[in-house]
A and B are shown apart, each in its own frame.
Chain A
Amino acid sequence: MEAARQLLADIPSLITGAAVLAACIGALWGIVAGALPGITTSVGTALLIPFTFALDPSIALMLLVGVNIGGEYAGSIPAILLRIPGEPSNAACMEDGYIVHQRGETGKALAFSLYPGTIATLFATVVFLFLSAPLVDFAIQMSPAGYFSLFVFALTAIAMFGDENPGKGFAAVFLGLALAAVGTDTGSAATRLNFGFREFADGLPLLPVIVGLFAISQVLIDISAKTLPAQASGGGKGLWEAMKLPKLREFRLVGRATAIGTAIGTVLGVLPGMGSTVSSFVAYSESRRWSKTPEQFGHGSYEGIAAPEAANNAVGPAALMPALALGIPGNGSSAMILAALVLQGFRPGPSLLEGAPELLSAVFMGLVLAAIATVVFGTLLLPLWVWLVSIKESIMMPIVMLLVAVGTFAQSGTIFDVWVALAMGLIGFFMIRYGFPIVATVIAFVLGDFIEQNLRRSLVLSDGSLSIFVTDRLSLVFLVFTVITATVMYLNQRKRLKQPIEASRE
């Protein structure tokens, strides 16, 4: 409580014109990136990172948090209008949203994503206010062994979640760790894995790796797809005619779904690897279970839009808690926010906020301002977002690639880094195509050095004995969590694998 009070006390000094502008620009860019074909929220965030380098860390954080919040909503726009989810997490609202749009209620479909999503963001932000500072205090007391085991737990969850083949998830994690090991070893001054490139003496540059893996790979995937999506049609009525927003009494219909989605998104968002997609689908199924009209789900239910979108939006602030307090980003967006802080000279981990507690207040402020900006821009500029969805991908592709080139060059002043981004883009393309999760690689890459340092420090403390990971109580707890998580996820995956086979037999 005291920590929350302290956090709130810092806020007045942070409310400046630049801060409000940063959150608004971030939210606007997030909505644009989410709505534009060929750009996702992750790509939008990655493209903006180079331009945050010169900003004050608090302002940079507010900008990126704004993109995160705006993008969470905007991913539902192509899902509802085109039946193409902006992010995987928006797939849960796609079926009902598209049917509502086809009925000629486009405005209502988008509003039932926007308003419940904003409520969820604000609720999760309040939770962030109360939990993040105690989490930082807890993190500071952890030993290197505890930290290493915590990372093992987080990376195991991230590797095992999502793809049906955990081997590929772990391979992606170890790829990230290997990329992080490139360059001069801080402990011994030995150069590692640079294969003759002097440019890699300081390690692989963070920004080109992230931008390449997220943005270039996505362009390559989109541009080489056999079929390109059609543009938004008017649904049942003309597109502009369908823009009417819901009446107040209609919002009451989605109250329960919003509450369920908000609670699920806030709780699951804190867990690494779970992220928006799991939360959205769990919220959808739970909301159907508790609904008075479950038969409408899948046939244009308003609740079927509100519940997953509330969960999806609650994850944004929730995932920032472990990212900032423990240095463990739970999803791609929080990994990029962490990467932006690393570029600003901060080290991930418990010391991240030790010397700069005002960053927590900045994030809290950014979340609130961005939520307000998103609801304002989302409502007032609704026709603009609908129009953006219909912009041709052929126009967006070169612009995204140019933003990568200009942004990467702007940060380092050398075209070599753009070549690195291209190489990473090619790697990312093959990873996505063959089912390797690139988010796992990025998170492992950002944390790699920190993981290695904690492993080495632990072994120094124990004279080389691995028993320290069991004798340290916190480390043991995280290792037990790791085993439990891996077992549960393995059993779930087995169950999931059997389902399509059994369904096809029937």
Chain B
Amino acid sequence: MTDEVPAAGDDSTSPAAPARGDNVGLRVAATASVILAFAGVVLAGAVQTQAVFITDVLGPKGFLYFVVGGLVLSSIVSAIVEWRLATARLAAGVGTEAAPGDLSWIRFFATAVGFAAYLMVLPFGGFLVSTAAYSMGTAAIAGERSKALLAAIAVLVPLGFVIVFEVLLNIELPGGRTGLFGN
């Protein structure tokens, strides 16, 4: 067995429970709806498409309609298969389709928002300062609690990137080394 340790920052300690039978319909509908919504976006794009000249029978819209049709069919097949699978498992007394692995939404949002914030700050703060803050923050989100290691990450990671990419490989870093503050 793999030894597993709870990650720092867990917002729950309860084990993953099998999905309840009454959630099956909702999950099937949600998955199908997401695919259909995407088909709707492509359809809207197809309707808005205006060609100056058309050189073939299909034109620029034809392929988009083909994709929309494929997505609609996929959503139907996906819903039918998921429903049949879940009901068969329920009938066999093994719960519904295995629920997706339990996760910490807090860490997910913190990572995504942290990266977005990093991209916004980069042009102003520059690579060194922004990356120091970002790498330390992301390591902390990932469960690192040692202050010494966090400090080392904040110093060594941006410096390492500058040395490898800017100095050795002559590759420009996003935001420049010091950003607007350096100018």
Query: Which residues on A are within 8 Å of B, measured CB to CB?
Result: 51, 82-84, 164-168, 170-171, 173-175, 177-178, 181, 185, 187-193, 195, 216, 219-220, 223-230, 233, 392-395, 397-399, 401-402, 405-406, 409-410, 413, 415, 418-419, 422, 425-426, 429, 433-435, 452, 455-457, 459-460, 463-464, 497, 500-502, 504-505
Contact = CB atoms under 8 A, between A and B. Distances in A.
In this complex, the member of A51, A171, A399, A502 whose beta carbon has the largest number of chain B beta carbons within 10 angstroms is A171
Nearest to B105: A224
Given A171-B78, A185-B60, A406-B174, A415 B112 contact: no
Interface in B1-31: 1-7, 10, 12, 16, 31
Given A185-B51, A392-B144, A504-B94, A226 B60 contact: no
A398 B139 contact: yes
In this complex, the member of B7, B54, B62, B67 whose beta carbon has the largest number of chain A beta carbons within 10 angstroms is B67
Given A187-B56, A188-B54, A393-B143, 5 more contacts: A398-B153, A415-B174, A459-B56, A460-B56, A500-B89
Contact of B157 (A164, A399, A405, A410): A399
In this complex, the member of A174, A191, A435, A500 whose beta carbon has the largest number of chain B beta carbons within 10 angstroms is A174
B83 to A, nearest CB: 10
B171 A410 contact: yes
Contact residues of A: prevailing secondary structure: helix
A174 B70 contact: yes
Contact of B80 (A167, A393, A452): A167
Interface of B: 1-7, 10, 12, 16, 31, 35, 38, 42, 45-46, 49-60, 62-64, 66-67, 70-71, 73-82, 85, 88-89, 92-94, 100-105, 107-108, 111-112, 115-116, 118-119, 122-123, 131, 134-136, 138-144, 149, 153, 157, 161, 165, 169, 171-175
Given A226-B104, A398-B139, A398-B153, A497 B71 contact: no
Contacts, number: 242
Nearest to B71: A174
A181 B131 contact: no
Contacts of A402: 131, 134-135, 157, 161
A229 B5 CA distance: 6
A409 B161 CA distance: 13
Contacts of B12: 226
B153 A188 contact: no
Given A167-B78, A185-B60, A225-B101, A398 B138 contact: yes
Contacts of B173: 406, 409
B45 A193 contact: yes
18 contacts: A84-B2, A167-B75, A167-B77, A177-B67, A178-B42, A181-B67, A190-B52, A224-B103, A226-B6, A227-B5, A229-B4, A398-B139, A401-B138, A402-B131, A402-B135, A455-B66, A456-B63, A501-B89
A171 B139 contact: no
A433 B103 CA distance: 10
